[in-house]
Amino acid sequence: MSAGQAQCIVPQEVLTKVLKAAMMTGADFAEVFVEDTSTETITMEDGRIENVNSGRDRGAGVRVVKGETSSYCFTDSLEERDLIEAARTAAGAMSGARGEYIIDLTRSEVPVISPVAKYPWETTKAAKAELLHRADRTARAYDPLIRQVTAALLEIVRNTTVANSEGVLAADSVTRSRFTVSALAAKNGIMQTGSATIGKTRGLEILDIRTPEDLGKDAARQAIVNVHALPAPSGPMTVVMTNGWGGVLFHEACGHSLEADSILRGSSVFAGKIGQRVARECVTAVDDPTIPNEWGSFGVDDEGNPGKRTVLIENGILTSYMYDRKNAIKGKHEFTGNGRRQSYRYIAIPRMTNTFIAPHNSKAEDIIADTSDGLYAKGLRGGQVNPATGDFVFTVSEAYLIKNGKLGDAVRGATLIGNGLTTLGEIDAVAGDLDFGPGNCGKGGQSVPAACGQPALRIRRITVGGTQRRSAERRG
Amino acid sequence: MVDLKSLLAYAASLGVGETEFYLEESSSWSCRVYQGEVENLQASQGRGLGVRVIVDKALGIAYTSDVSEGTAREAVRRAAENAKISAPDELRSFYAPEGGYPSVETWSQDIQDTPAETKIRMALVMEAMAKQKDPRIRKVLGTGIATNSRSVTVVNSKGVNVSFKSGGAQISCQVLAADNEVMQTGFGNQFSRSFSGLDPEKVVDEAVRNALNLLGGKPVESQDASVIFAPEVSAIIWQMLAATLTGESVQKKRSMFAGKLGHKVDSELVSLIDDPFAVEGPGASPFDAEGVPRKRLALIEDGVLKAFMYDSYSAAKDGVKSTGHAHRRVQSAVSTAPCNLYLKPGTASLEEVVASTKNGFLVMNVSGIGTGGLNQVSGDLSVGAAGRWITGGRFVGPVREVTIAGNLKDMLLGIDAVASDLKWMSMGTPSFRVAKMAISGK
């Protein structure tokens, strides 16, 4: 199971029949996406194992394309008759007829991008529960102000098979594990939270990278920092961001606007700007699902196309967008392997995978030392963007003031708000310490695992939204 | 499909103490049109079965999307296995029926009977209409229509066996307005219990108005000002707030309202009610995810915190009865949540509220609120906002790229107007105004 090609979930002959049924009304293209996903979650609250949930999502979706129209139908069953019924329903939305369509499926070589050492079924649930207990105990022991600790382990094995009328047949199997600890600290009626997560396309060996104790302690530490923190300042500031999950800035501020659907609708600020300078020399940005074991990695995308490294911005110059099949054909571009979906219940759309700002030649400590007055954003939660305007906002989970090149007081409750294009142009220093964090990215009602990454970097000027007005502070 | 009665018997044969099944069956149809063509059509029948068991007072959970006999039995076995590592608790027990269920009628036959062609035509007409509304509307980015029906069945080994079918129709339209290089999107949508209740022109007007009213927005100077939250934004805030009005969040020390029952937590203008019988709302239903009958519950009345919501387990912990607020999806564990929330509208129209605002900000969009912008534990709020600036009771221009910040507790007590423009979306809410909040911009 651990090496070599993933199995086809449904036999090739059945897939061929389904595609023939889908092409019956004279479609240009048909595709069947089959999925069999097992999900295991264990959650702990208050030192007790609260919920242990095992799930199985098994089904298939059939897409039929004719001209500009596509039609989609899914079924929660892998029985041949149900698959063919779904194909007929999808085909039935088109008018037309044709004789038998020849389907000649050729199995693609799908590389194993993310080898797994400890599959979910190789560890007992009792042993997994103990891992949560270990994180919980460490977090509680960290400080008497810690009032509440929750921890959760998520393990997903997602098997997919895609076949289409152009002969593509590809199977992939991806195992993801994520371990999260959240802590709540309270003092004088002020309650603050902290959390720490590791998530990779791996098995339980993720906890060899960061132990449950390490994660528990980090979550508690953040909660304690925030409970003692001062209110965040507001107004335009220089912001230095730490490496790792902070890449969600680029993901939100620019990444979504580089997805081909918003480009081709003309509703993106990056439309028509290929070859133009959009950032300073120090900024190179990449989307790459082929990074071994990263959270957003896979062998083939959910349309059966191989995952590829796509350089989006090279030394400040815009070089590419991210495409699914439909938008690649429309935009006359090669497939980039960004066609993704939450499950067989959804149609694939262009999505990011592991998206990051590439390492450059600065050092994190030098960037801070070189900043006279600013905010150091050490932890971030999530964010949101309007792809048409590029306006974004995201929330800082751990932050410190920078005064004369040195870290000062911790501050809480800050948001960063700005515009994608503008902020991208404001990045003036990038370090070499690239790291990633796992996220779940929502778009069009679908959530997919996506990693955000970056080295430490500096944004010359960005609006910080806090409650403490800086001008008032200066006057006072 | 598996027979749930015989599946109960199967669970009993495994030595499971109590068993509960939550079955969802849905039928959905949707269509998106773009540039005069049907872009995407979807029609599907979905199903899913959630299983919960109690073995030796410990809870185990499993689910499956494939509800054939073999897979459903496998889910029961997995749930029983999972119970073995859960923490046992004497208070774990499923609901035993006590009397009947209220009647909630939300089904409209035209949801099922309206032909696809009629629905597609409505979307195409909306798109064409949107283009004509104003020369600054450069594009209609997407126009959608969807109808769906969903039936939920809860069966348990204590004698619950109930089903409820509901349905609805939705239309939406997103436009792109442009003035030279400046672009702005605008969105309009409507949820209706019947197809005949849809009002396409109103949705188009809303989308166009939202785009044009925000077009060319600029940051304002950082300052304190009155903030009016439009219904779309108001709904997000009240729903996040309601999530903390549960016995569960108090027990888990996550609620900023712990110990506040009977206290004034809001301006007296605020009454927040969960009403399962308000069929205009999408959550109207006769029973909850555990098969407990729903009832109307005032959470906040005239600014005073009146009640917390409970499911069976959190109720048992506090020695009270479930209020019928168990919530779940097939894939998730049971939690506590409101079913069909609304904020009681006031008497003044939004226009009157605006006219009485000296220096303020009508917030039409917020961003980042669900991704950490509102800390439900501390109440700290800091979100990106776009909308229209108000000076001397009049709109003076669009605003974007600013944040509004404050603490929810202060904000709730500072509400000085609730308008009459109740709109049902995910919940029912009118616009409301907070006397003073911190706005940071330039």
CA separation, residue A359 to residues A247, A272, B308 (Å): 12, 27, 50
d(CA B172, CA B143): 6
Domains of chain A: total: 2
Residues B141 and B219 in one domain: no
In 3D, which of A372, A383, A396, A418 has the Cα closest to residue A231? A396
Say if A5 falls within a structural domain.
no
CA distances (Å), A150 to each of A137, A211, B274, in order? 11, 16, 29
pLDDT for B371 equals 72
Residue A447 lies in domain: 231-475
A391-424 pLDDT, tens digit each: 888 889 999 999 999 999 999 988 898 888 899 9
Q: What is the spatial distance between Cα A71 and Cα A86, in angstroms, rounded to a whole number?
A: 11
Residue that has been written with the tokens 């293209």 in this structure: A29
Over residues A260-286, the pLDDT tens digits come to 998 998 878 899 999 999 999 999 999
Tell me: the pLDDT tens digits for A197-220? 999 999 999 999 999 999 999 999
Q: How far apart are CA B307 and CA B72, in angstroms?
A: 38
Last residue of a domain, one of A177, A208, A228: A228
Is residue A188 less than 8 Å (CB to CB) from chain B?
no
A211 with A235, same domain: the answer is no
Please give the Cα distance from A342 to A176 (Å, whole number): 14
CA distance B145 to chain A (A): 14
Give the residue among B419, B433, B260 at the shortest CA–CA distance from B352: B419
- Tell me if B33 is assigned to some domain: yes
pLDDT at A475: 32
Tell which B residues from 351 to 410 touch A, by Cβ distance under 8 Å. Answer: 365, 367-368, 370-373, 375, 377-378, 380, 382-384, 386, 400-407
Q: What is the pLDDT of residue B180?
A: 83
User: Under 8 Å CB-to-CB from A85, ≥6 apart: which residues?
Assistant: A75
How many structural domains compose chain B? 2
State how far the Cα of A389 lies from the Cα of B209, in Å rounded to an integer: 17
Q: Is the CB of residue A145 less than 8 Å away from at least one CB of chain B?
A: no
- Pairing outcome for strands B415-418 and B423-424: unpaired
Beta bridge partners of B156: B20
Of A89-103, A156-170, A298-312, B422-436, where does mean pLDDT reach its minimum? A89-103
Residue A130 and residue A171 in one domain? yes
CATH of the domain at A203: 3.30.2290.10
Handedness of CA A10, A12, A16, A17 (dihedral sign): negative
- Statement to judge: residues B20 and B152 lie in one domain: yes
A209, with CB counted inside 10 A (0-12, 13-18, 19+), is exposed
The nearest CA of chain B is from the CA of A66 a distance in Å of: 10
Chain A residues 335-364 with a CB less than 8 Å from chain B: 345, 347
Residue B281: the pLDDT is: 92
| B256 vs B378: CA distance, rounded Å | 6
- Token digits of residue A402: 């920078």
The verdict on A267 and A382 lying in the same domain is: yes
For the stretch B143-161, pLDDT in tens is 999 999 999 999 999 999 9
Q: How many CB atoms lie within 10 A of CB A322?
A: 28
Average pLDDT of B241-270? 92
Same domain, A184 and A256: no
Residue B204 inside a domain? The answer is yes
Would you call A160 exposed, middle or buried from its count of C-beta atoms within 10 A (0-12, 13-18, 19+)? buried
Shared domain check, A279 and A214: no
d(CA B202, CA B200) in angstroms, rounded, equals 5
Residues B91, B18, single domain; the answer is yes
Q: How far apart are CA B412 and CA A445, in angstroms?
A: 30
ipTM here: 0.89
Nearest to B86 among A52, A71, A72 (CB): A52
| Inter-chain touch B87–A49, beta carbons under 8 Å | yes
Chain B: closest CA distance from residue A12 (Å): 21
- The confidence band for A4, taking pLDDT boundaries of 50, 70 and 90, is low
Average pLDDT, integer, range B347-368: 95
Mean pLDDT lowest among A288-297, B23-32, B398-407: B398-407
B263 interfaces chain A, CB cutoff of 8 Å: no
Q: Is residue A90 part of a domain?
A: yes
Cβ atoms of A395 and B373 within 8 Å: the answer is yes
Residue B341 has pLDDT above 60, yes or no: yes
Rounded to an integer, what distance in angstroms lies between the CA atom of residue A204 and that of residue A129?
12
CB contact under 8 A, A381 and B372: yes
Distance CA B420, CA B430 (A): 6
Burial class (CB in 10 A: 0-12, 13-18, 19+), B70: exposed
DSSP secondary structure letters along A420-437: HHHHHHHEEEEBS--EEE
The answer on B182 and B34 residing in a single domain is: yes
The average pLDDT across B324-335 equals 95
In the beta sheet, which residues pair with residue A70?
A: A65, B40
A154/A250 same-domain check? no
For residues A207 and A272, state if they share a domain.
no
Backbone angles phi, psi at A36, to 5 degrees: -140, 100
Is position A385 within any domain?
yes
Domain membership of residue B320 (yes or no) is: no
Residue B5 reports pLDDT greater than 80: yes
Residue type, A301: D
Is the separation of the CB atoms in A142 and A224 below 8 Å? yes
Least confident of A186-195, A432-441, B374-383: B374-383
- Give the domain CATH number at B47: 3.30.2290.10
Q: What are phi and psi of A301, to 5 degrees?
A: -80, -175
* CB-based contact A405:A370 (threshold 8 Å): yes
Task: Tell me if A218 is assigned to some domain.
Answer: yes
Determine the average pLDDT of the residues in B328-344: 95
pLDDT value of residue A3: 46
pLDDT of A366 higher than 60: yes
Q: Is residue A181 part of a domain?
A: yes
**pLDDT 10s digits, B8-26:** 999 999 999 999 999 999 9
Is B256 within 8 Å of A51 when comparing Cβ atoms?
Answer: no
Interface of A with B in 279-338 (CB under 8 A): none
Say yes or no to pLDDT of B103 above 70: yes
Tell whether B404 is covered by a domain: yes
For residues A47 and A76, the answer to whether their CB atoms sit within 8 Å is: no
Which residues 183-242 of chain B have a CB within 8 Å of chain A? 183-185, 219, 222
Domain membership of residue A6 (yes or no) is no
Report the residue from B85, B367, B383 with minimal CB separation from A49.
Answer: B85
Of residues B55, B59, B108, the one with CA closest to residue B328: B59
Q: Smallest Cβ distance to A54: which of B82, B401, B403?
A: B82
Burial of A143 per CB tally in 10 Å (0-12, 13-18, 19+): middle
* Same structural domain, B55 and B107: yes
Q: What number of H helices and E strands is found in chain A?
A: 11, 24
Which of these three, A206, A228, A250, is where a domain ends?
Answer: A228
Q: How many CA atoms lie within 13 A of A261 on its CB side?
A: 19
3-state secondary structure of B167: strand
- pLDDT (mean) for B117-126: 96
Closest CA to A162 of A94, A77, A62: A62
Mean pLDDT of chain B: 94
Joined together, the tokens standing for residue A151 give 């921890």
Coil/strand/helix, residue A44: strand
Phi and psi, residue B397, nearest 5°: 160, 160
A473 token code pair = 């502070």
> DSSP state, B214?
H
Do B49 and B187 sit in the same domain of this protein?
yes
Is the per-residue pLDDT at A444 higher than 90?
no
C-beta atoms of A384 and B370 within 8 A: yes
Interface membership of A230 toward B (CB under 8 Å)? no
Reference A410, options A227, A239, A249, A248; nearest CA is: A227
Distances from the Cα of A390 to the Cαs of A42, A279, A393, B345, B381, in angstroms?
38, 15, 10, 34, 22
Give me the mean pLDDT over the A235-261 stretch: 92
Does residue A333 fall inside a structural domain? yes
**Residues B30 and B108 occupy one common structural domain:** yes
Q: Is residue B86 predicted with pLDDT exceeding 50?
A: yes
List chain A residues with CB under 8 Å of B256. 191
Residues B89, B180 share a domain: yes
Work out whether strand A230-231 and strand A406-412 pair parallel, antiparallel, or are unpaired. Answer: parallel
Q: What is the pLDDT of residue B367?
A: 84
Instruction: Place A469 in a pLDDT band, splitting at 50, 70 and 90.
Output: low
State the pLDDT at residue A28. Answer: 95
Q: Which of B438, B375, B372 is nearest to B404 (CA)?
A: B438
Contact B252 A45 (CB under 8 A): yes
| A375 and A466 belong to one structural domain | yes
- How large a percentage of chain A has pLDDT more than 90? 81
One domain, residues A374 and A390? yes
What is the model's pLDDT at position A468?
Answer: 65
Q: Residue B302 falls within a domain, yes or no?
A: no
- A382, part of any domain: yes
Of A208, A228, A248, which marks where a domain is finished? Answer: A228
- Give the mean model confidence (pLDDT) for residues B182-211: 94
Q: pLDDT for B385-398, tens place per residue?
A: 999 999 999 999 99
DSSP A214: H
Give a yes or no: residue B249 inside a domain: no
Collect all residues of chain B within an 8 Å Cβ-Cβ radius of residue A392. Answer: 367, 384
pLDDT at A159 over 90: yes
Q: Of B178, B212, B246, which closes a domain?
A: B212
Residues B288-326 pLDDT 10s = 999 999 999 999 999 999 999 999 999 999 999 999 999
- A281 and A337 in a single domain? The answer is yes
Asked if residues B402 and B432 have their Cβ atoms less than 8 Å apart, the reply is no
Asked if A152 and A270 sit in the same domain, the reply is no
C-beta atoms of B139 and A265 within 8 A? yes
Provide the domain limits for residue B191. 4-212
- The CA distance from B100 to B238, in Å, is 31
User: How confident is the model at residue A419, as a pLDDT?
Assistant: 87
Q: Is B180 on the interface with A (CB under 8 A)?
A: no
Name the domain boundary from B144, B178, B212.
B212
Q: What is the DSSP letter of B283?
A: T
pLDDT of residue A476: 26
Chain A residues 447-476 with a CB less than 8 Å from chain B = 463-467, 469-471
Of B195, B212, B229, the residue at which a domain comes to its end is B212
Angle between helical axes of A212-228 and A125-142 (0-180°, round to 10)? 30
A182, A195 in Cβ contact below 8 A? yes
| Residues A287 and A260 sit within 8 Å (Cβ to Cβ) | no
> Is residue B180 in a domain?
yes
| pLDDT value of residue A471 | 44
Does any domain span residue B304? no
Q: For tokens 């009508």, what's the residue? A: B362
Instruction: Tell me the chain A residues in contact with residue B361 when contact means C-beta distances shorter than 8 Å.
Output: none
Statement to judge: residues B102 and B229 lie in one domain: no
Q: What is the pLDDT of residue A383?
A: 79
Same domain, B84 and B218: no
According to DSSP, the residues that pair with B168 across neighbouring strands are: B148
Integer CA distances (angstroms), B278 to A200, A345, B262, B436, in order:
45, 30, 25, 32
pLDDT at A139: 98
Question: C-alpha distances in angstroms, A449 versus A8, A345, A348?
Answer: 23, 16, 14
Q: Do both A76 and A191 map to the same domain? A: yes
> CA-CA distance, B64 to B137, in Å (whole number)?
46
- How far apart CA B61 and CA B83 sit, in angstroms, is 7
- The reply to whether B112 and B207 lie within a common domain is yes
SS3 B9: helix
Q: Are residues B222 and B127 in the same domain?
A: no
**Structure confidence at residue B442 (pLDDT):** 80
